[in-house]
Structure 1
Amino acid sequence: MATPTMRAIRLHQYGGPEVLRYDEVPVPDPGPGEVLVRVHAAGVNPPDRYLRGGMTTVPGRPEATVSLPVIPGTDVSGVVAAVAADVRDFSVGDEVFGLLRFPGFDGSAYAEYVAAPASDLAPKPAGLDHAHAAAVPMAGLTAWQFLIDVGHDHPSPFQRAPHRPMALGSGTTVLVNGAAGGVGHFALQLAKWKGARVIAVASGVHASFLRDLGADRFIDYTRARPEDLVRDVDLVVDTVGGPGSGRFLRTLKPGGALYPVLPGEFGEEDLAQAGGDVTVSTGQVRSSGAQLARLGRLLDAGTIRVALDSTFPLAEARAAHERAARGHVQGKIVLTVA
């Protein structure tokens, strides 16, 4: 009997978007604790591009987690096609979405089918199509675990102390840098859900989008430096990182905190100007079907929304990665599977 096959994007070598190949491969079999998902959409995330570029280990896991050829991708939305004998929470025909096997590079979501741990999945929000649902898992869970509830006790590879989200409420001011991106637009909405006042920082083209999501104040970083305009912020969520990210320490009030989602660079001058009584705390997002289910209920209720920057057919994954490389993404980029 012939082995069933599917189409998938695979890497046979590392490099630019041109190394993404549209291959025919065997359909995976779900192992213990897994379900087979017929993929309808897969989200495009920074770790997918890091893997494509040659990163084979993730922070906290020094051993290589992949070998070529490999199917990239972690964010998925689809329909359960088969279940392992020990799975009780899902049945064939259920619509699901999830962040698969993260931290790690073995999610294999850029495919027509994927074998997914049942614990990484949640029921797809009924009010979302698969493209919007696939845009949620990594970005939404990152914002949730930074701002609402870490939800696990795994040691952080980035700092000794565990990350503890700050209590947010009506007396709290939160600045979100990179507010129009995947993590940023969820962080803005979750902070508003908790009652905080939110200052959104992005380029001017995103102003109306972010005000529509609930931003109380918008700063166009191409016209003014946020650190020159803002003081006495309780929390900065920096989704951009990189050189100069320490400047946001100057915006904090005593006792405030900076949460760098991506690695930042902080000099002694930045810390000195902040006055010393501030916290810098980060973490690493992890798969969680339970937390994703909570996000799903907020999405179904319309409390938070997910934005799509653009969608591309699975076969055009190269174009999707090229779009990501151009930057200024509003929401998320998603691959759709016919």
Structure 2
Amino acid sequence: MRAVVVRSFGGPEALEVAEVPEPVPGPGQVRIRVAAAAVNPVDALTRSGLMTEFGELAAGSRPAYGIGWDAAGTVDAVGEGVTRFAVGDRVIGVRDRIDTALGAYAEAVVLDAGAVAAAPRGVDAAHAATLPLNGLTAWQALDLLDLPAGATLLVTGAAGAVGGYAVELAAQRGLRVVAQAGAADEELVRGMGAELFVPRGEHVGDAVRALVPGGVDGALDAALLGARTLDAVRNRGAFVAVNGGPVVPSPLRGTRVHNVWAAGDAAQLGELSALVDAGRLTPRVARTLPLEGAAEAHALLAKGGLRGRIVLVP
């Protein structure tokens, strides 16, 4: 089968479509015939070798590394002990391990059943593929913040994939959302549930405190602004960086500081799927490309400005 791998770290040109053996599910695993795989920033970090610098990936531990976390498709084989899924089920899933020989950019991928759930019924595979990593990241970041209903939450990068899900989920938890995004995205993020808005380019701490005296109760930093976002949080508030790496700030003024890396969670994935089908969560696809377009997808991702995810369709 065909899969995208990286043999030598580098730019988008390092992505190679290779013929590889079809993976076989082990105990507790399922094999998914991939219909769509979302392209995420963590894929670019892996491809470039930055994950080795952060310490999350050991360089040289494999001859080739798989790329891609998000998959939507159909179960075509199940391993021993798997009872929740059967061949033919439409599913979504996330590969939450970085150091693997195969990722979701492939014609088939094997995932732990605990990281797989039924796909939303009301959207196509491309839209469904944007849900696992980004939806779980937003959900688990909100859990870490642990803010009560009525509290104020700043979401930076609110028009992005993680930020958009975070705004919708936070509003549904009863939080008052302050969204930070480009000026042209104000209507978009307010439509997602943001009550207040701060344009990108302004000093985020000053701008937020002008709207919320004393600062917000918590911040979900999807834009990775680090200390600039923390400046908008009140004393002894809460802060979560999304896959922050070296830009996680110090816990100034007694702030609870966390860094969220999503973990596969079938129950949470199932709830996210149900929210999509209920019209309460909005998957967004910027563009679809074939598997051979992986390098082009990474080049587009590097340019920025996307609203939704690029999705590879094997």
When the two structures are superposed, what TM-score results if normalisation uses the length of structure 1? 0.84
Does the 8 Å CA contact 1:175/1:233 hold for their aligned counterparts? Answer: yes
SS class of match (1:295): helix
1:251 paired residue number: 232
Give, in angstroms, the shift of residue 127 of structure 1: 1.2
- The CA deviation string for residues 17-53 of structure 1, in whole angstroms up to 9 with x for no partner, is 0121222222212222211111000011222112211
Structure 1 CA distance for aligned equivalents of residues 191 and 101 of structure 2: 36
Greater shift, 306-315 or 133-142, is seen at 306-315
In structure 2, the residue matched to 1:88 is 83
74-83 vs 10-19, which moves further: 10-19
CA contact (8 A) 2:57 2:98 kept: no
1:166 aligns with 2:146: yes
Q: Which residue of 2 aligns with 1:309?
A: 286
Report what 1:287 is aligned to.
264
User: How far apart in 1 are the matches of 2:248 and 2:56?
Assistant: 23
Cα distance change of structure 1 residues 115 and 192 upon mapping to structure 2, 3 Å threshold: same
Q: Which has the higher helix share?
A: 2
The CA deviation at 1:57 is 4.9
Query: Structure 1 residue aligned with 2:62, among 62, 67, 79?
Result: 67
Q: Does 1:135 align with 2:124?
A: no
SS of structure 2 residue aligned to 1:230: helix
Structure 2: runs of 5 or more not aligned: 210-214
Shift of 1:126: 0.7
Q: 1:227 aligns with which of 181, 186, 205?
A: 205
Indicate conservation of the 8 Å contact 2:158/2:164, yes or no.
Answer: yes
The aligned runs of 1:1-338 (5 Å cut-off) are 6-55=1-50, 57=52, 66-102=61-97, 104-106=99-101, 108-148=103-143, 164-169=144-149, 171-222=150-201, 224-231=202-209, 232-242=215-225, 245-261=226-242, 262-263=244-245, 264=247, 266=249, 271=252, 276-337=253-314
| Distance across 1 between alignment mates of 2:22 and 2:119 | 22
| 1:135 CA drift (Å) | 0.5
Alpha-carbon spacing, 1:326–1:105, altered in 2? closer, same or farther (3 Å): farther
SS at match of 2:229: helix
Give the AA of the match of 1:334. V
Q: Which amino acid in structure 2 is aligned with residue 278 of structure 1?
A: T
Give the secondary-structure state (helix, strand or coil) at the position aligned to 1:68: coil
Matched position secondary structure for 2:298: helix
Structure 1 gaps, min length 5: 1-5, 149-163
Name the CA shift for 1:90/1:66 in 2 (closer, same or farther; >3 Å). Answer: farther
> What's 1:157 paired with?
none
Q: Render the CA deviation track for 1:244-287: whole Å, top value 9, x for unaligned.
A: x21233322333222122242647xx93xxxx243222333211
Could you tell me how far 1:206 is from its partner in structure 2?
2.1
1:104 shift after superposition: 4.4
Q: TM-score under structure 2 normalisation?
A: 0.90
Deviations along 1:199-228, one digit per CA (max 9) or x if unpaired, are 111112322221221221222213x22222
Q: Which amino acid aligns with 1:165?
A: L
8 Å contact kept, 1:189–1:213:
yes
1:101 Cα offset (Å):
3.5
Structure 1, 280-289 or 15-24: larger mean CA deviation: 280-289
Task: State the match for 2:212 in structure 1.
Answer: none
